[in-house]
A and B are shown apart, each in its own frame.
Chain A
Amino acid sequence: MDISKDIIERAARGEIPAFEEIYKSSSGFVYNVALRISASEHEASEITQDVFVKLFSGLKSFNHKSSFNTWLYRVAVNEALNRRKKSNLENSRRAEFDESVEANPALREDPVGKSVNENIDKDKVAELLSLVNEEHRVVLVLREMQGLNYEEMSRVLGININTVRTRLKRAREILIKKVKENGMQ
């Protein structure tokens, strides 16, 4: 269910109770989308916080032209992808650091940060999603888990419906192939 214009306007004026109402009705999907894209409960919590903190100051620019949830999905997906990009960058830096630690025993005393993926969900869906790339993971999450239709996905992702269809078909194709290859069936 979409949030009423009145609640959005009140929250845009800085009314915390109105903002909390928005949070209560939409934090669930923001968190779950973030969780499935990031594959980490810790990351999902941080992404959800970032999304809502940004939302609080960005609410006044919401023009009611698109559905509020569509808009929120878009912010959540982008935030999750941006975080992944950052994490991947950090991971590759960490890998470089690990290599340098290997090469230089004097550095071994330094604490090496824990991998951001340490909290990866151990469930079957997380396992399946880990088999595909980010672009495909996003369409699978939005379609298979959030139940968005092609048109909604097109609006969330800012791509045309045909691209949604093609991307989703490709994502499923790859997933089926990888499931077979990994003997997961």
Chain B
Amino acid sequence: MECNKARELMLSDYMDGMLNKETSGEVEKHIASCQSCAGYYRSAVSAFVPFRKSRALGVPPAVWEGIRGRLAAVPEDEQAFNIKSMFEIFHSKWANAAVFTSMLLLTLFAGTYFAENMASSANSRLRQAPEEFASNIGFSEFEDMPGDQSKNVFSIIGG
């Protein structure tokens, strides 16, 4: 094994224990036979000792307090509320019943409203009709007109 290859492996797969037995044996054989690479390997190992010795630091308690405070300040709609959780609310039996009832009431209300509206607009058309008829069509045709107004028209014309 060449010095370059030995050093490359030394600083990557060999150091990280990722070589198979055969290749790591070759690296070790090279280190044993090459003074320069042996020195390099020693400096590599000692450079990384502090990393292995170092301990993780504990998180200061103020960090969670800060997060908690910031979460409280997050507007409702930006919090972890989503469509899915909204549907979960509607998954309850009673909520479904409430939705069904309100839709039924809405349909009934809308139906009644439209029926009344149609009838009253039809009536208003009828109320205006006799005057228009009186000016536009012949006298005899009023005989078939239903209701009091046609009688009034008759009486006006006839009188």
Check if B79 is an interface residue, CB within 8 A of chain A.
Answer: yes
Interface string of B5-38 (1 = CB under 8 A from A): 0001001110110100000000000000000000
Q: Which of A130-185 contact B (CB under 8 A)?
A: 140, 143-145, 149-150, 165-166, 168-169, 172-173, 175-176, 179-180, 185
How far apart are the CA atoms of A13 and B84 in the complex, in Å?
A: 9
Tell me whether A13 and B57 are in contact (CB under 8 A).
no
- Interface Cβ pair total, 8 Å cutoff: 110
Given A23-B67, A49-B70, A180-B43, check contact A28 B62 (CB 8 Å).
no
- Residues in B with CB closer than 8 Å to A143 are 16
Check if A73 is an interface residue, CB within 8 A of chain B.
Answer: no
- Residues in B with CB closer than 8 Å to A41 are 57, 60
B49's closest neighbor in chain A, by CB? Answer: A124
Which one of A12, A48, A169 has the highest number of Cβ atoms from chain B below 10 Å of its Cβ?
A169
Check if A56 is an interface residue, CB within 8 A of chain B.
Answer: yes
Contact of B80 among A28, A59, A176 (CB under 8 A): A59
Check if B94 is an interface residue, CB within 8 A of chain A.
Answer: no
How far apart are the CA atoms of A48 and B56 in the complex, in Å?
A: 15
How far apart are the CA atoms of A13 and B11 in the complex, in Å?
A: 45
Tell me whether B43 and A179 are in contact (CB under 8 A).
yes
What's the dominant secondary structure at chain B's contact region? helix
Check if B1 is an interface residue, CB within 8 A of chain A.
Answer: no
How far apart are the CA atoms of A176 and B16 in the complex, in Å?
A: 16
Check if B137 is an interface residue, CB within 8 A of chain A.
Answer: no
Tell me whether B13 and A165 are in contact (CB under 8 A).
yes
How far apart are the CA atoms of A172 and B11 in the complex, in Å?
A: 6
Check if B50 is an interface residue, CB within 8 A of chain A.
Answer: yes
- Residues in A with CB closer than 8 Å to B44 are 172, 176
How far apart are the CA atoms of A101 and B30 in the complex, in Å?
A: 59
Tell me whether B50 and A124 are in contact (CB under 8 A).
yes
A–B pairs, 17, beta carbons within 8 Å: A14-B85, A27-B59, A41-B60, A45-B62, A45-B63, A49-B66, A53-B70, A56-B74, A57-B79, A59-B80, A125-B51, A128-B51, A144-B48, A172-B15, A179-B43, A179-B47, A185-B47
